[in-house]
Amino acid sequence: MMMTSSLKVDIFDIASDLTTRPVGARARSVLLEMLEDNETIEIDFHGKSLTPSFADECIGQLAAELGFEDFRARVKMLNVSESSRPLIRHVVLTRCNPL
């Protein structure tokens, strides 16, 4: 079935904080469910800093489950803080292609 919809997601609607692995894992599960019904999602981080553990659990492992090309095509991240950008790059690339 072809999907064309795009969904905007406020990260704080699916995560109570951007700190812990358990919260990151739950947020990843919700994002995967959203991706079953929508072609693309845009996640708004409101410029807040993520911890490495949250970034790895939520975004890194989401990328690993989707695969790098699918993740890049279907997941966009808005308002990611400047300090968190190299962290997200690291967790996505590392999870998609382990060292």
The residue ranges that bind another protein (CB under 8 A) are 16-17, 19-22, 25, 42, 49-53, 56-57, 61, 68, 71-72, 75-78, 80-90, 92-94, 96-99
Q: Over 22-64, what HEC string results? A: HHHHHHHHHHHHHHHHCCEEEEECCCCCCCHHHHHHHHHHHHH
Q: Closer CB to another protein, residue 37 or residue 47?
A: 47
Q: Closer CB to another protein, residue 2 or residue 86?
A: 86
Q: Closer CB to another protein, residue 4 or residue 55?
A: 55
CB of 39 to another protein, least distance (A): 15
Give 56's contacts (C-beta < 8 A, 6+ positions apart).
21, 24, 91, 95
